[in-house]
């Protein structure tokens, strides 16, 4: 993993144990973590410090879903200069879409997967680019290269630009996709659309 170097991260989460674990993860990479447990403390530190990135939990104590308002406030005050990662137990497509639409740069659900967490940090801190992430592949003989898998998707949105789907798996951009749904039968009279292609996938 690329050395993260000396960066300052401001986090808001009402779970001190989570902050303790997060601090252990980051301290060994020379990252300073500033922990807050309320919106008031967060914005006080935000004014005093110059964080390189912010971690936002969505539900903080009695402030249900206040993380959404915090994201909005950061974007109003500082534009898009400071990257925001949501770290939350909320894993519904509605919560993820709302956070991203309000200005969050990325979203990770708890418990945090370390390799994904560090890769996203490195990218948002400008230490690596998406193209620099290399995965090892095993060559498959042509005779065995064909195949298909079936996955369940939730259809979130349909408009003139495409179809937004929610799926608990990462699917690489460019992957061909055949969608079957009763919805197509009701709307256009067929149970399956022509082969589509994944344009963008967010974890």
Cβ atoms of 50 and 93 closer than 8 Å: no
Structural domain that includes position 174: 142-197
Cβ atoms of 14 and 41 closer than 8 Å: no
In whole angstroms, give the CA distance from residue 16 to residue 11. 11
Cβ atoms of 121 and 4 closer than 8 Å: yes
Q: What is the mean pLDDT of each run of 10 residues along the chain (203 residues)?
A: 71 94 87 93 92 93 84 91 92 90 92 89 68 51 66 76 73 72 75 66 57
Q: Does residue 137 lie in a domain region? A: no
Which residue has tokens 């997060």? 22
In whole angstroms, give the CA distance from residue 107 to residue 21. 18
pLDDT, position 21: 93
One domain for residues 79 and 104? yes
Domain boundary (100, 130, 160) is at 130
One domain for residues 69 and 102? yes
Residues 6+ apart with CB under 8 A from 159: none
Q: Does residue 26 lie in a domain region? A: yes
One domain for residues 146 and 179? yes
Q: Does residue 136 lie in a domain region? A: no
One domain for residues 94 and 23? yes
The structure's pTM equals: 0.62
pLDDT, position 182: 78
């Amino acid at each position: 993993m690329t050395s993260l170097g000396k960066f300052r991260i401001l986090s808001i989460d009402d779970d001190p144990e989570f902050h303790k674990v997060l601090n252990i993860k980051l301290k060994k990479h020379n990252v300073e973590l500033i922990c807050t447990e309320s919106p008031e403390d967060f914005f006080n530190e935000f004014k005093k410090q110059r964080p390189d990135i912010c971690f936002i939990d969505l539900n903080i104590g009695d402030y249900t879903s206040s993380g959404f308002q915090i994201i909005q406030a950061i974007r109003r005050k500082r534009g898009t200069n400071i990257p925001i990662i949501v770290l939350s137990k909320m894993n519904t497509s509605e919560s993820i879409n709302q956070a991203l639409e309000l200005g969050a740069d990325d979203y990770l659900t708890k418990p945090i997967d370390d390799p994904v967490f560090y890769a996203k940090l490195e990218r948002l801190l400008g230490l690596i680019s998406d193209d620099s992430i290399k995965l090892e592949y095993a060559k498959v003989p042509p005779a065995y290269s064909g195949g298909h898998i079936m996955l369940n998707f939730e259809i979130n949105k349909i408009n003139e630009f495409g179809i937004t789907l929610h799926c608990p798996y990462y699917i690489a951009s460019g992957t061909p996709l055949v969608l079957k749904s009763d919805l197509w039968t009701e709307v256009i009279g067929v149970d399956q659309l022509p082969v589509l292609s994944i344009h963008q996938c967010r974890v």
